[in-house]
Chains A and B, each alone.
Chain A
Amino acid sequence: MKYASEFRDNRLARGLIAKIERSSRTPVKFMEFCGSHTVAIFRYGIRQVLPETVTTLSGPGCPICVTANVDLDKAIALARIPNVIMTSFGDVLRVPGSYTSLQAVRAEGADVRVIYSAMDALKIAADNPAKQVVLLGIGFETTTPTIAAAILQAKQESLTNFSVLSWHKLSPPAMKALLDSGDVALDGLICPGHVSIITGSQAWEFIARDYGIPCVVAGFEPLDILQCVDMLVTQVEKKEARVEIAYSRGVQREGNTVAQKLVDMVFEPCPAQWRGMGTIPASGLKLRPEYSMFDAEEIFDIDPGPTREPAGCICGEVLRGVSTPLDCPLFGKVCHPENPVGACMVSSEGSCFTYYLYGGKNE
């Protein structure tokens, strides 16, 4: 098994599309929580091949996109402190905060480095004992375990010049907040694949149970997504609402319990501010008091100054599924990947970037 080409088989795809066409009678709106799903849906043209009764809508599952300006401003202020080496995953550098970006302060002389793994930041800390190395901890449940592992290793190695600025967020509370807001009426949820590998499909059971919304965990290949849509349509037509898995090669009900324990050991839930959605209780992760010596917010006195939002940008509404990028007056004109105004145009998983890159601008 090669795990990619088999899941792009044209004949199987046509069979699934025909099955969905036959069974779908009720007009439905399904949200894909995850930005990687949005990318796959556009990349393979899935919206075009689905019957008119099925609409898909992008959700808030892009970690960079949902990071609030106040957090970006904190990271930028931190990077400007002399002797600090800020380490971050690539896309974050380009995201505009209230006034500037990490990329711009790097050009001014701040030491901002792109890393590919949390362990790279530990190595930089070990190599630069006279500097303070800060790791920007960003991501949903998928990336958090790797950051937790880095913190545990830093403790084991008694590193005193390493810390994490935690922007980590939890997916289910965000989905709950979105449903509670009543902004969008959903008939089904395409649950994130990678997140669910860690959390297990159980994380979505409250949505089926409490909101009566069918949930199916999907992988990221075209056949995965088509199978997921087929399962959701079947549930809708049978008037059922439960959690199913269309990604059984990766996801189980319980998830990765080792990773869950690791995260739980280092982090505890806290309120977190989401772009476009405000502060959501217990939707973020902060370091537990036992690990506060690695918490950048505890170590540094950070003054990010007043925040502001770019005029006209509707990233917040796009993230809630209330608007699409095409509704934004800036989209494709002022705001494009070379000159992103909002975060959704920066991240390779952002809705605006995806619409722009894959020709959604002409939809």
Chain B
Amino acid sequence: MSDTILLAHGSGGKMAHRLIEEVILSDLSNRVLARMDDSAVLDLSGRTAFTTDSYVVSPIFFPGGDIGKLAVCGTTNDLAMSGADPLYLSLSFIIEEGFPISDLKRILSSIRNTAREAGVQIVTGDTKVVNRGNVDKLYINTAGIGKIPSGANISGANIAPGDKVILSGSIGDHGIAIMSKREGLHFSTELESDCAPLSGLVADMIATGARIHALRDPTRGGLATTLNELSDQSGVKIMIEEEKIPVRDEVLGACEMLGFDPLYVANEGKLVAFVAPEDAESVIAAMRKNKYGAQATIIGQVEQTENPCVVMKTVLGASRLIDMLVGDLLPRIC
């Protein structure tokens, strides 16, 4: 096989078959995928969550992850935010001709490892190759299916006044790690993306039996944008405290340098949970036992209101409205 992806690899012919069998299946094979039918046949029952996302991050390899890891985490995390246990994933590549097969193998092995950790099987997929310049190296689309455990009723519309707002850890790590590697910006930092599968953490939280009303992973647009979406969806006022929100020194420093506010910088391995106040401590205790929730902390609470909004108490004790991200911070971070 050649060292790079050629247009013929996407033709559906012999070369395409060899690529699928020798490169892709060798890394990902499972019972459903191995049948090689036109579609995956699955047994599903009960309430099911279904979601899709496309990944166009640049650069495709970044500190703490790569586009493959992101493509598994992003979609399984979206399932987990509905309380679902991720079961199945589709995986589609759009590859620029000339893409090194060794890089593809690296990405596939990262997909395999992340899927294993998230407990999800890749059951269907597709590969297309396009002319040089028609995509930037490689884009991935994944769709995922998950099963919602009985009793879980988690939605951005279920937030109630009195709920505690729990954040699983420090914000802004992914966005700043990516920006540090961008052409033209390039600054040196030890910082790694927080990109991680959160389904295990969510399962631990649900297992406490706590009344978890809403979960969301603050990806593009950062924590500020996510909280605004939720306050609109549930029609509530969300009050948070600046001092309670963990931000790494590296992120704080980079944000000062670049003129960003960490509240608007992307995360790929964090979640916010809205939990009934009596249950907050038990949820936090469960989260802190999981490596992806070790820094979990209450950052605020929910109040009743006529005008849904997000308000933050600043370090000086003043309060200010937190709006959604306006304009673009920097494109293509996921």
With A13-B315, A43-B320, A357-B326 as known contacts, state yes or no: A348 contacts B259, CB within 8 Å. Answer: yes
Contact yes or no, A2 B185, CB < 8 A: no
Q: Which of B259, B322, B327 is the one whose CB lies under 8 Å from A338?
A: B327
Q: Which of A5, A348, A362 is the one whose CB lies under 8 Å from B321?
A: A362
Q: Which of B249, B314, B319 has its CB near the most chain A CB atoms (within 10 A)?
A: B314
Query: Is the CB of A45 closer than 8 A to any CB of chain B?
Result: yes
A3 to B249, CA, bound (A): 10
Contact yes or no, A44 B318, CB < 8 A: yes
| Interface size in chain A (residues, C-beta < 8 A) | 35
Contact yes or no, B323 A359, CB < 8 A: yes
A330 to B315, CA, bound (A): 32
A77-126 CB contacts (< 8 Å) to partner B: 94, 114-117, 120
Query: Is the CB of B261 closer than 8 A to any CB of chain A?
Result: yes
Query: Is the CB of A156 closer than 8 A to any CB of chain B?
Result: no
**Can you name the residue of chain A whose Cβ is closest to the Cβ of B249?**
A2
Chain A residues lying within 8 Å of B261, measured Cβ to Cβ, are 43
Query: Is the CB of A334 closer than 8 A to any CB of chain B?
Result: no
A338 to B326, CA, bound (A): 7
Q: Which of A5, A120, A348, A359 is the one whose CB lies under 8 Å from B184?
A: A120
CB distance from B26 to the nearest CB of A (A): 40
CB distance from A106 to the nearest CB of B (A): 14
Q: List 9 A-B contacts (CB under 8 A).
A: A8-B315, A14-B317, A44-B318, A48-B318, A116-B184, A338-B327, A356-B323, A359-B321, A362-B321
A338 to B328, CA, bound (A): 10
Chain A residues lying within 8 Å of B256, measured Cβ to Cβ, are 4
B284-334 CB contacts (< 8 Å) to partner A: 314-323, 326-327
Q: Which of B315, B317, B327 is the one whose CB lies under 8 Å from A337?
A: B327
Chain B residues lying within 8 Å of A8, measured Cβ to Cβ, are 315
Query: Is the CB of B243 closer than 8 A to any CB of chain A?
Result: yes
A contact face: mostly helix, strand, loop, or mixed: helix
A95 to B89, CA, bound (A): 43
With A5-B252, A337-B326 as known contacts, state yes or no: A115 contacts B184, CB within 8 Å. Answer: yes
Contact yes or no, B249 A17, CB < 8 A: no
Contact yes or no, B315 A116, CB < 8 A: no
CB distance from B250 to the nearest CB of A (A): 10
Contact yes or no, B314 A117, CB < 8 A: no
Query: Is the CB of A42 closer than 8 A to any CB of chain B?
Result: yes
* 14 extra interface residue pairs, beta carbon distance < 8 Å, beyond A2-B249, A10-B243, A49-B316: A2-B253, A4-B252, A4-B253, A5-B249, A17-B316, A43-B314, A44-B315, A45-B317, A45-B320, A120-B184, A222-B315, A336-B326, A356-B326, A358-B320
Contact yes or no, B252 A13, CB < 8 A: no
Chain A residues lying within 8 Å of B317, measured Cβ to Cβ, are 10, 13-14, 45, 49
Query: Is the CB of A46 closer than 8 A to any CB of chain B?
Result: yes
With A45-B318, A48-B318 as known contacts, state yes or no: A117 contacts B326, CB within 8 Å. Answer: no
Contact yes or no, B185 A48, CB < 8 A: no
Contact yes or no, A222 B316, CB < 8 A: yes
Contact yes or no, A46 B316, CB < 8 A: yes
A348 to B315, CA, bound (A): 22
What 0/1 readout, one digit per residue, does chain B (254-290) give for beta carbons within 8 Å of chain A?
0010010100000000000000000000000000000
Q: Which of B184, B256, B261, B316 has its CB near the most chain A CB atoms (within 10 A)?
A: B316
Chain A residues lying within 8 Å of B319, measured Cβ to Cβ, are 45, 48
Chain A residues lying within 8 Å of B253, measured Cβ to Cβ, are 2-4
**Can you name the residue of chain B whose Cβ is closest to the Cβ of A13?**
B316
A17 to B317, CA, bound (A): 11
Chain B residues lying within 8 Å of A358, measured Cβ to Cβ, are 320-321, 323
**Can you name the residue of chain A whose Cβ is closest to the Cβ of B224?**
A357
Contact yes or no, A117 B252, CB < 8 A: no
Q: Which of B243, B318, B321, B326 is the one whose CB lies under 8 Å from A46?
A: B318
A226 to B253, CA, bound (A): 21
**Can you name the residue of chain A whose Cβ is closest to the Cβ of B259?**
A348
CB distance from B243 to the nearest CB of A (A): 6
A47 to B320, CA, bound (A): 11
Chain B residues lying within 8 Å of A362, measured Cβ to Cβ, are 321
A120 to B183, CA, bound (A): 10
CB distance from B332 to the nearest CB of A (A): 13
What 0/1 readout, one digit per residue, does chain A (205-231) give for beta carbons within 8 Å of chain B?
000000000000000001000100000
5 A-B pairs with least C-beta separation: A45-B318, A359-B321, A48-B318, A337-B326, A116-B184
CB distance from B189 to the nearest CB of A (A): 14
Contact yes or no, A4 B185, CB < 8 A: no
**Can you name the residue of chain A whose Cβ is closest to the Cβ of B324?**
A357
Chain A residues lying within 8 Å of B323, measured Cβ to Cβ, are 356-359
A10 to B314, CA, bound (A): 9
Contact yes or no, B185 A116, CB < 8 A: yes
Chain B residues lying within 8 Å of A9, measured Cβ to Cβ, are 315
A226 to B318, CA, bound (A): 13
A9 to B317, CA, bound (A): 11
A353 to B6, CA, bound (A): 48
Chain A residues lying within 8 Å of B320, measured Cβ to Cβ, are 42-43, 45, 358-359
CB distance from A1 to the nearest CB of B (A): 11
A3 to B256, CA, bound (A): 10
CB distance from B279 to the nearest CB of A (A): 29
Chain A residues lying within 8 Å of B314, measured Cβ to Cβ, are 43-45, 222
What 0/1 readout, one digit per residue, does chain B (226-256) give for beta carbons within 8 Å of chain A?
0000000000000000010000010011001
What 0/1 readout, one digit per residue, does chain B (3-27) give for beta carbons within 8 Å of chain A?
0000000000000000000000000
CB distance from A346 to the nearest CB of B (A): 9
A356 to B325, CA, bound (A): 11
A14 to B316, CA, bound (A): 7
CB distance from A301 to the nearest CB of B (A): 31
A171 to B30, CA, bound (A): 67
**Can you name the residue of chain B whose Cβ is closest to the Cβ of A94?**
B327
Contact yes or no, A4 B243, CB < 8 A: no
Chain B residues lying within 8 Å of A226, measured Cβ to Cβ, are 316
A88 to B259, CA, bound (A): 17
CB distance from B113 to the nearest CB of A (A): 34
